[in-house]
Amino acid sequence: MHDRLSMDPAYRRLKTGRRSVFRPHLSCWLAADHLVVVEVVGYSERYSRFDLRDIQALVLQPSRMRATAAWIGTIGLVPALALLVAILASVTVAGMESLVVVAFLAFPPIAALAWAAWAGPLCSIRISTAVQVARLPALHNLPLARAFAREVLDAALAREASPADPATPAVSPSPSPS
Amino acid sequence: MQAPDIPCPACRAPLPADATALASMDSCPACRKPLEVIPFPALGRLPVGGPAPEAAVSPDDATCFFHASKKAVVPCDACGRFLCTLCDLHIHGVHLCPPCLEAGRQKRTVTALERSRTRWDLIASSLAVLCLICGVLSPVAALANVAITVATWRKPQSRVASSRTTMLVATAFSLLVAVGLAVVLWLEWNSDGTT
């Protein structure tokens, strides 16, 4: 067993999305019987370990925040651009030049809208066990969270199907007193 | 005893306990916020305790170090004391007695019990950046970087990143900046002296 999860063949890293400066960095490592969630907060790393037999459900709460913000940005830009066109027309700037200026200004919100549509909606995901509900704040993309949930569920089903842990104390032999 | 309910993240209202109902749910019945629940096989299952310790029946039976009347089933992997099923704490493939588990938690020898580690490599990287921006104080930051790298080299490092490599690079960079600054200052001093 290696101390570094990435060097330990027992662990497989799950996709959790890109780093963001607004959220703590998160990485999730799946083993045959448990899930390790590593969260980098400031100058420390925090670990949470979930046994796959303890996880009762993954709860995803989709959010329309990203798409709404992109639409508001785009819709708010339309009157601004119309005003800009009117101003440019009034100061008799050549038609082609004003078109280039308007296109230049319109590109960022339209690109943001396209990116929001491509990346999918945001969400929050929580791991629910019998004794706690843990939120994974950095895993905030809905398609990614769904894929994460599928992988963990598959591992939990495989864990249920596998025979009982041979190292459980109930079957340990009695030690000799000598 | 009843299995605990899963709460809605928005309104904290308990969601239905039935796995089929949870899987087909698209919003919380109480607050109507959109919701997706992926039920796991453990849903509704109560936490199962380990087997109860057996009483030692014959004088030849090895008994638990902590419970003299109970039959020992396994020795502690750290101290070798015999343990009954009650005292045997099975952590990540290792059998430990309660005192060894507590000692392992305090000395951080049982990695499965670790809750956090300090990222010394991130501190070293920040000091390296500080070297660039703090001008004449950069030798101080470089020395601090060297001290941190030496003092924490053998301490447990990050479990996901190559911390020692990062620390080495950050320390080398900050030393380079400090030496570079010293050379520039020396050249400046000499040029002032000659003119």
Contact present, B51 and B43 (Cβ < 8 Å): no
ipTM above 0.90, yes or no: no
- Encode pLDDT of B2-59 as tens digits: 556 788 888 888 888 788 888 888 888 888 888 899 999 888 776 666 677 777 777 7
Number of domains in chain B: 3
Q: What does the pLDDT read at residue A169? A: 43
Write down which residue in B95, B115, B135 finishes a domain.
B115
Same-domain pairing of B126 and B178 = yes
Tens-place pLDDT, residues B180-192: 888 888 888 888 6
- Interface check B49 vs A, CB under 8 A: no
Are the beta carbons of B37 and B22 closer than 8 angstroms? yes
Q: In this structure, are B37 and B61 located in the same domain?
A: no
Question: Domain for residue B48, yes or no?
Answer: no
* Per-window interface: A 38-77 vs B, CB < 8 A: 38, 40, 43-47, 49, 52-62
**What gap in Å lies between CA B28 and CA B11, rounded to an integer?**
9
pLDDT value of residue A178: 39
Token pair of B159 as six digits: 């479990």
Helix (H), strand (E) counts: chain A = 3, 7
Q: Give the per-residue pLDDT at A168.
A: 45
More confident residue, A139 or B148: B148
For residue B88, is it within any domain? yes
pLDDT tens-place string over residues B47-63: 666 677 777 777 788 88
Identify the pLDDT of residue B25: 85
Determine the Cα–Cα distance for residues A75 and A68; give it in Å rounded to an integer.
10
User: Nearest-CA neighbor of A52 among A170, A154, A143?
Assistant: A154
For residue B37, how far is the Cα from the chain centroid? 28
Per the structure, the complete domain to which residue B70 belongs is given by: 53-115
How far apart CA B1 and CA B9 sit, in angstroms, is: 24
Q: Which amino acid is at B118?
A: T
CA B160 from chain center: how many Å? 11
Q: For A71-84, what is the mean pLDDT?
A: 75
* Shortest distance, CA B173 to any CA of chain A (angstroms): 20
Identify the burial level of B16 via C-beta atoms within 10 angstroms of its C-beta, where 0-12 means exposed, 13-18 middle and 19 or more buried: middle
* Beta-carbon separation of A169 and B51 below 8 A: yes
Mean per-residue pLDDT of chain B? 85
Pairwise CA distance, residues B51 & B74, whole Å:
13
Fold of A5-63+121-158: PH-domain like (2.30.29)
pLDDT above 90 for B171: yes
Does residue B192 belong to any structural domain of this protein? no
| B148 in any annotated domain | yes
Token pair, residue A54, equals 């303890």
